[in-house]
Structure 1
Amino acid sequence: MTANPLLDKWSTPFELPPFGDIEPDHFMDAFEATMATARAEIDAIADNPDAPSFDNTIEALEKSGELLSRTARTFYNLTGAHTSPELQSIEREMAPKFAKHGSETFQNNALYQRIATLWENRENLDLDEEKARVLERYHSMFQRAGAGLEPEAKTRMAEISQRLASIGTQFGQNMLKDEADYQLVLETKDDLAGLPDFLISAAAEAAKDRGLEGKYVITLSRSSIEPFLQFSTNRTLRETAFKAWSSRGEGGGNTDNRKIVAETIDLRAEKARLLGFDSFAHFKLDDTMAKTPEAVRELLTKVWTPALKQAHAEEEKLAEMARSEGDNFEIAPWDWRHYSEKVRKADFDLDEAELKPYLQLDKIIEAAFDTANRLFGLSFEEKHGLPVYQPDVRVFEVKDRNGKHVGLFLGDYFARASKRSGAWMSAFRGQHRLDGDVSPIIVNVLNFSKGAPGEATLLTFEDARTLFHEFGHALHGLLSNVTYPIIAGTGVARDFVELPSQLYEHWLSEPDVLSRFAVHYKTGEAMPKALLDKLLAAENFNQGFATVEYTACALVDLEMHLLDSGKDLDVSEYERKTLADIDMPKAITMRHRIPHFAHAFSGDGYSAGYYSYMWSEVMDADAFGAFEEKGDIFDPETAEKLYTHIYSAGGRPDPAETYKAFRGRGPDIKALLEKRGLAA
């Protein structure tokens, strides 16, 4: 093989990955080389004859494996946002190898003994807050990986980790294939009945991308299928589309994920037992703010009860609307969005077709940037001609109020077959100060339906909210101001990580923001005040539905991970029974049904942790009140506290304590219930 760009020093602007020079084959060669180097560095730390110190053990670990990390970040960002059969093959091959590499590190007894010695002697090491936190994180990580187990148990832990890595990768690839392969082709006037111009235009563009010019295609991207379910008056097609969306990962063929889920549950339960925990949920929650399954269930139940009551009331209104149109049938899941749109129109004189022309993607991006400028003094300058992994990706240099470089922000906004569904924030490089000031390179990946050539891309209000949410995560990465990579940016407790993102959503709904950036894509005129007022008045509309479809997922996720075995687990029947036990309305499905619940089973990031969004929402609903109480949503003093205690602090402080430092007290769940319109 010729020179491998992944192993060279990158001379690209801002040291972006040289995407144009990287071929899939480069990755295997680079992984082999950088993994060997990283292993040698780690072994040298473990075998150091000098007595352990923070510098020669913890800081040395933080500096190790730099090229491996750089290669892996590049690779996994590509496999999520712009994959290919070649990359997927490498991903499957590397998953167990990375797990093995991790096990060899975290189960290295000599290395663990050095860390344990430092931990036992921590009170005498004169560590500052950040170093103390980094030591705690390493000690916890090693223990949770099985470093203190007997040899036989260590071996089994390593086997479990490798198998979980393999099947988690397969779960995600199966889901992507189901999504990429599906298309609902529309051809006749009956097929298009009820669809607004913006959706017809997006469907025509999706068809063109698939070589079906002159036809229309609805995909399983939320930005395509949700508006179709809202507006289509063809109930048969709504049912067809919804069932395809709902049954991803459950098709019975090679992409069926149910056996993977059962095996995952079984292996996770075994892992938890080896580590001395009652269940995987107990193990996972032990390292979070919530701490216990009981605390999570208490929160979810407090929300579930009023949400269920509200959802039943909403369903009756939908049924009334259907009957008023001569449709005398029980509301089904494929009817909910359709009739809720009609009810919203009737109750608030507001519909998505009227609203969407005022929500241009470019203007919502501008609104997110402007909000960051007014809160934190950031500016964003688009850079052209820089290396990107796909032509639609946009790159912005971020500077602070003094004009100093903060980092790079990449925006990848459009749905495509090579991208997994959903929306997320990731990093090609994290912030740290181990070797000078290393600035972050952060990316937001979303899945909006692209407008036709020369046409604006129009968003739903939910799309716009998602953009603000992910940009809140991006700011958490960009504003990070710590020394050590392990606690930089979003390196915080799982049930704290959603606070900066969910909090940022609040600014989108403020008239001060919408009145400036919600402008008509053809005329440039601002959204009329009457329409803006209707939008804000309807903000809590359908919250029973939204809360039930989310909370059901969180409850099912928790209960599954309390099981002591996954052997013989019938996943579909388990889902049915668990939902029946909590009185899930027949007209509502889980936001993510188990066979495509990627948060929980494509890796374990949110396993036994999907509740985190609501745990953080208790804080974000309460936190925005700090600005409202000042009478200024951009109050400089409050914004400075927000920067200091939330956005820049990374994982350095204890999350509960840093929230109190910002707010002056702990959060109040009443704020969440009021925000969702569920307060008694």
Structure 2
Amino acid sequence: MTEINPLLQKFDHPPFSKIQAKHFKPAFEKSLEQARKEIDSIVRNPEKATYENTIETLEFSGNLLGRIASIFFNLNSAETTPEIQKLAQDISPLLSEFNNDLLLNFDLFERIKDVFDNRSAHNYSEEQLRLLEKIYKNFTRNGANLDKEKQARLREIDKLLSLASLKFGENVLAETNNFELHISDESELEGIPDSVKDSARELAKEKAKKGYILTLDYPTYIPVMKFGKHRDLRKQMFLGFGSKAFKNNEFNNEKNVLDIVELRLERARLLGFESHADFVLQERMAKSVNNVKTFLDDILEKALPAAKKEIEELEDFALETDGIKEFQKWDKAYYTEKLKQKTFDLDEETLKPYFELNQVIHGMFEITAKLFKLRFEKDKSIEVYHKDVVTYKVYENDKYLATLYADFHPRAGKRDGAWMTTYKDQYKKEGREERPQVSIVCNFSKPTKKQPSLLTFNEVTTLFHEFGHALHAMNAKTNYPSLSGASVYWDFVELPSQLMENWCYEKEALELFAKHYKTGEVIPLEYIEKIKRSSNFMEGLQTARQVSFGKLDMAWHAIESTIGIEDIKTHENKAFADTELLPEVDETCMSTAFGHIFQGGYSSGYYSYKWAEVLDADAFELFKEEGIFNAAVASSYKENILQKGGTVDPMKLYKEFRGREPDPEALLKRAGLV
């Protein structure tokens, strides 16, 4: 009797309890076969190409394949195993081959081109035109106009890129998991919060060791760097974190970085672009490499004088406090926190009791209810991939809007960082509307036997950030899945996420969720005022740091040749030359673990965080002027930004909401740099 494959049965929410790793390969093979048949039916259609029988039919093809892929790759990020990682190496080339077969299908492109060339003869809606242009460009930007020989090379490049990117991520995860700093003497952990020590002690017990085990997971690494009094401990942790995939071992990513950069450049050149960045930026608000570089340089010009002054302050403070004569990178977070405490009489540990995870989530939902009339209800009937995951049904005016998966704690099979993803996008088809299934994934401290999960203020803003992305996906109100939710230009996608962070600084919002986990006391007004006053603390350094990441991204992707790149570290140092304010550490390298640009979707797009900050600072000014819970402003934002996805040019959407183009001065003013 043939075993039933749950991935090939009809399902709405992913049937996680039934899915085993062995199900994925046959499910991909079957869904790829089905998707190919769907494409073939478009090509073989004897009727003249129309919007309905070509563009829309193509848009809705491969639905099963897309759903299986979303489940598989989301698990590979959030709950991976050696078996899943091995499968990813096998499956990624199959998907690359299918994608190439699709985008290099001459007969299919001829039908698409026919519809595109005759578009002026039809009264298409703005959304229909956006989809038509997106599909047409997707083909031309992926080799449809190349000759057979160049198309064959493009196929090879895409296959190699998918494997190199996967290997890059696996190496970073392995290096993160392999690092353990075993501490026997508790005195070495002086200054580190008890919650972190409790977790480290529990981990040591799990591994049958006495004392404490420190890891590179963010809930451990960040507090150690901020609060660890022992300088040598901070140095060991810093070197462990900064040398990920840069050591002379099997997980070294230097070759992967160069391979990815060279393949991306060759691919761009095949398609007629000078660089990978030129290729990417053609479909961004920024439009060109020159615009991005000018944007970053302009911000750096404003931030650098402040950053230099702030470093001098830290160096003087460290000398005065502890006699530190040679200030190093592993000192920066510690003395920043100490000086912040001294300046504002405020420290993270004082604030954390007011930010218990469940209470913050409850408040975040309450803020969303006030702004967008949404309601969140836990639903334990929805299957999850790990016991830590919590699911919610989301309602708008009592009508089902979306499903939200929330996964908040670190574990061995989960990569670092925080992200939003979807298991299903919103769209309309044949009179039926499909609502989205959205997931936010973070890495916050686990509850211990002594206390619940308490967040730092930075983690609170991280949660609101990812929730902002989720709101973009959940509120989608479009016809086509590829234009739905966060399917927008990459330098526009961070607007909803970064805008949501602003409510974390407002008294009216904080009072909804910042309550002491033991007493229920609302966070004192003096703390709120200190949070606001300290929000710009060391802003010059923070801005210079973000700009440096954008410059590193451009240094790898705006190049027109890799000739002359001696090695990864030297090239990175050149990129950081304008922003580096502390002595270089030879053992560390950012590029080899820079997942955003070598594994995620941010290649040639890291600048977009700052770009979107301009948008969010300007947008929130309107909320501040009219009231942070003003119904009319919130409704306009929801209608023009959250619901419309990629159906309209983003600048047009922004102007509909704001009444004008964004003003860069809003960001500089908020940051205290002007």
Normalising by the smaller structure, the TM-score range is over 0.9
Which amino acid in the other structure matches residue 366 of structure 1?
H
Q: Secondary structure at the match of 1:496?
A: coil
Structure 2 distance, partners of 1:313, 1:214, is 44
- The match for 2:421 is 426
Structure 2 distance, partners of 1:128, 1:207, is 61
Q: Secondary structure at the match of 1:533?
A: helix
Out of 163, 166, 184, the position equivalent to 2:181 is: 184
Conservation of the 8 A alpha-carbon contact between 2:548 and 2:579:
no
Which amino acid in the other structure matches residue 654 of structure 1?
D
In the alignment, structure 1 residue 405 sits paired with structure 2 residue 400: yes
Conservation of the 8 A alpha-carbon contact between 1:321 and 1:339:
yes
- The match for 1:150 is 147
In the alignment, structure 1 residue 593 sits paired with structure 2 residue 590: yes
Structure 1 stretch displaced more, 468-477 or 551-560 = 551-560
Deviation at 1:188, TM superposition (A): 0.8
Q: Deviations 1:236-292 (Å, cap 9, x if unpaired)? A: 010000111111121121111111111111111111111111111111101111000
- The match for 1:169 is 166
Deviation at 1:392, TM superposition (A): 0.5
Please give the TM-score of this superposition, normalised by the length of structure 2. Answer: 0.97
Structure 2 distance, partners of 1:92, 1:568, is 31
- The match for 2:442 is 446
Conservation of the 8 A alpha-carbon contact between 2:548 and 2:575:
no
Conservation of the 8 A alpha-carbon contact between 1:262 and 1:568:
no
* Aligned residue pair count: 670
- The match for 1:18 is 15
Deviation at 1:213, TM superposition (A): 6.3
Which amino acid in the other structure matches residue 572 of structure 2?
E
Conservation of the 8 A alpha-carbon contact between 1:471 and 1:501:
yes
1:564-579 equivalences in 2 (<5 Å): 564-566=560-562, 569=565, 570-579=567-576
Structure 2 distance, partners of 1:667, 1:592, is 35
Deviation at 1:198, TM superposition (A): 2.5
In the alignment, structure 1 residue 629 sits paired with structure 2 residue 630: no
Q: Deviations 1:379-424 (Å, cap 9, x if unpaired)? A: 0011124310000000011000x20000110100001110011100
Structure 1 distance, partners of 2:405, 2:204, is 27
1:142-541 equivalences in 2 (<5 Å): 142-208=139-205, 210-212=206-208, 215-400=211-396, 402-435=397-430, 436-453=432-449, 455-541=451-537
Q: Deviations 1:93-115 (Å, cap 9, x if unpaired)? A: 11111111100000101111111
Q: Deviations 1:32-82 (Å, cap 9, x if unpaired)? A: 111011011112212222111111011101221111111111101100100
Deviation at 1:201, TM superposition (A): 2.5
Conservation of the 8 A alpha-carbon contact between 2:265 and 2:276:
yes
Deviation at 1:579, TM superposition (A): 1.6
Distance 1:644 1:517, change over 3 A: same
Structure 1 distance, partners of 2:202, 2:394, is 32
Structure 1 distance, partners of 2:583, 2:507, is 34
Q: Deviations 1:592-625 (Å, cap 9, x if unpaired)? A: 911111111115x110111111111111110001
Distance 1:312 1:423, change over 3 A: same
- The match for 1:28 is 25
Structure 2 distance, partners of 1:34, 1:273, is 33
Conservation of the 8 A alpha-carbon contact between 2:246 and 2:589:
no
Deviation at 1:588, TM superposition (A): 8.4
Structure 2 distance, partners of 1:381, 1:583, is 46
Conservation of the 8 A alpha-carbon contact between 2:468 and 2:496:
yes
Distance 1:234 1:652, change over 3 A: same
Structure 1 distance, partners of 2:196, 2:295, is 38
Which amino acid in the other structure matches residue 640 of structure 1?
S
Structure 2 distance, partners of 1:586, 1:273, is 37
- The match for 1:136 is 133
- The match for 1:42 is 39
- The match for 2:72 is 75
Conservation of the 8 A alpha-carbon contact between 1:406 and 1:478:
yes
Structure 1 distance, partners of 2:630, 2:444, is 32
In the alignment, structure 1 residue 641 sits paired with structure 2 residue 636: yes
Conservation of the 8 A alpha-carbon contact between 2:93 and 2:162:
yes
Distance 1:76 1:387, change over 3 A: same
Structure 2 distance, partners of 1:150, 1:505, is 48
In the alignment, structure 1 residue 66 sits paired with structure 2 residue 57: no
Conservation of the 8 A alpha-carbon contact between 1:472 and 1:504:
yes
Structure 2 distance, partners of 1:625, 1:667, is 11
Q: Deviations 1:161-212 (Å, cap 9, x if unpaired)? A: 111011011101111111111122222122211112232223334445x524
Conservation of the 8 A alpha-carbon contact between 2:154 and 2:267:
yes
Q: Secondary structure at the match of 1:626?
A: helix
Distance 1:205 1:443, change over 3 A: farther
In the alignment, structure 1 residue 2 sits paired with structure 2 residue 3: yes
Out of 650, 665, 672, the position equivalent to 2:645 is: 650
Which amino acid in the other structure matches residue 462 of structure 2?
T
Structure 2 distance, partners of 1:32, 1:222, is 37
Structure 1 distance, partners of 2:539, 2:204, is 33
Conservation of the 8 A alpha-carbon contact between 1:432 and 1:483:
yes
Which amino acid in the other structure matches residue 87 of structure 1?
I
Deviation at 1:356, TM superposition (A): 1.3
Structure 1 distance, partners of 2:448, 2:24, is 35
Structure 2: gaps of 5 or more residues: none
Conservation of the 8 A alpha-carbon contact between 2:637 and 2:657:
yes
Distance 1:589 1:375, change over 3 A: farther
Cα RMSD, aligned residues only:
1.6
Out of 35, 38, 56, the position equivalent to 2:53 is: 56
Distance 1:234 1:601, change over 3 A: same
Q: Deviations 1:493-539 (Å, cap 9, x if unpaired)? A: 01000011001111111111112311112222111111221111111
Conservation of the 8 A alpha-carbon contact between 1:279 and 1:562:
yes
Deviation at 1:330, TM superposition (A): 2.0
Structure 1 stretch displaced more, 562-571 or 449-458 = 562-571
Structure 1 stretch displaced more, 374-383 or 354-363 = 354-363
In the alignment, structure 1 residue 101 sits paired with structure 2 residue 89: no
| Identity over aligned pairs, percent | 38
- The match for 1:112 is 109
Which amino acid in the other structure matches residue 407 of structure 2?
D
Structure 1 distance, partners of 2:485, 2:203, is 36
Q: Secondary structure at the match of 1:190?
A: helix
Conservation of the 8 A alpha-carbon contact between 1:263 and 1:566:
no
Deviation at 1:543, TM superposition (A): 1.3
Structure 1 distance, partners of 2:195, 2:382, is 31
Deviation at 1:466, TM superposition (A): 0.3
Which amino acid in the other structure matches residue 318 of structure 1?
L
